[in-house]
């Protein structure tokens, strides 16, 4: 896949601590990390001026969460009582780890990207990883190796592989090596989810517009 016309966050430049997390500035934008609990964190990336903090779907508010911040030349690490996040400075790529440093979920080398209004986030496929979710979808329960469109559709007389259907829920669960996590993509635009369709390297979620804002749930 060519990324000659796409843009990433670029390299890290600075950060400031907020009441609920960190605001990290980069060459091409900003990455806001907000803890809703010690197991739930919101990732919000944008290129220019920070948009209004608004959601059609999420009614919960961030809870006061104890976390520590450690920095070295390569990365910044945030740690709660259950979860560790490592942000790579050169690319703003995010790793989610448990407290024994086992990978729960991590960005692929492409990370978060924009192509015009289109936004996407790429995740490394873990060995044996399985995917469940997205609401009303055809096909097997495990969605590994498939791609889906999220866009409510009046799909009369649909078949076993028809997509999209009537109900679309931008939430999925990943399972691998006894690790379990959920990702809720908070975006109301037409979106797509790729769970390793035609590749063995990455999963991704993307939307035709709106914001790159998702919740990681350990």
Q: Which of 2-6, 160-164, 172-176 has the lowest mean pLDDT?
A: 2-6
Residue 90 lies in a domain: yes
Write the CB contacts of 153 (distance below 8 Å, at least 6 apart in sequence): 164, 165, 166
Average pLDDT over residues 114-133: 97
Q: Which of 28-37, 153-162, 165-174 has the lowest mean pLDDT?
A: 153-162
Question: What is the domain range of residue 19?
Answer: 7-217
Cα separation, 135 vs 185, in Å, equals 13
Both ends of the chain: CA-CA distance in Å?
Answer: 30
Residue 136 lies in a domain: yes
Residue 206 lies in a domain: yes
Residue 107 lies in a domain: yes
Residue 159 has pLDDT above 80, yes or no: no
Residue 89 has pLDDT above 50, yes or no: yes
Burial class (CB in 10 A: 0-12, 13-18, 19+), 48: exposed
Cα separation, 108 vs 106, in Å, equals 7
Average pLDDT over residues 52-80: 95
Total count of domains within the chain? 1
CATH of the domain at 209: 2.60.40.1760
Residue 35 lies in a domain: yes
Task: For residue range 29-48, list pLDDT tens digits in order.
Answer: 999 999 999 999 999 999 98
Q: How confident is the model at residue 1 (pLDDT cuts 50, 70, 90)?
A: very low
Q: What is the pTM of this model?
A: 0.93
Name which residue leads in pLDDT, 23 or 50: 23
Residue 2 lies in a domain: no
Residue 157 lies in a domain: yes
> Would you state the pLDDT for residue 4?
58
Q: How confident is the model at residue 165 (pLDDT cuts 50, 70, 90)?
A: confident
Task: For residue range 182-210, list pLDDT tens digits in order.
Answer: 999 999 999 999 999 989 899 999 999 99
Name which residue leads in pLDDT, 6 or 130: 130
> Would you state the pLDDT for residue 161?
80
> Would you state the pLDDT for residue 2?
46
């Amino acid at each position: 896949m060519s990324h000659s016309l796409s843009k990433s966050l670029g390299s890290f430049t600075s950060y400031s601590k907020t009441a609920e997390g960190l605001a990290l500035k980069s060459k091409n934008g900003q990455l806001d990390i907000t803890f809703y609990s010690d197991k739930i964190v919101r990732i919000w990336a944008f290129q220019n001026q920070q948009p209004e903090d608004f959601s059609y779907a999420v009614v919960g508010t961030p809870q006061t969460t104890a976390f520590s911040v450690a920095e070295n030349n390569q990365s910044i690490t945030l740690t709660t009582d259950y979860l560790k996040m490592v942000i790579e400075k050169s690319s703003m790529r995010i790793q989610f780890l448990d407290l024994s440093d086992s990978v729960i979920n991590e960005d692929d080398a492409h990370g978060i990207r924009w192509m015009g209004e289109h936004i996407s986030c790429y995740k490394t496929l873990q060995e044996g990883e399985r995917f469940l979710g997205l609401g009303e979808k055809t096909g097997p329960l495990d969605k590994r190796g498939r791609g889906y469109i999220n866009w409510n559709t009046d799909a009369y007389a649909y078949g076993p592989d028809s997509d999209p259907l009537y109900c679309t829920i931008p939430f999925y669960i990943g399972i691998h090596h006894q690790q379990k996590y959920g990702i809720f993509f908070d975006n109301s635009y037409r979106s797509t989810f790729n769970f390793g369709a035609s590749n063995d390297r990455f999963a991704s979620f993307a939307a035709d517009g709106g914001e790159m804002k998702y919740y990681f749930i350990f």
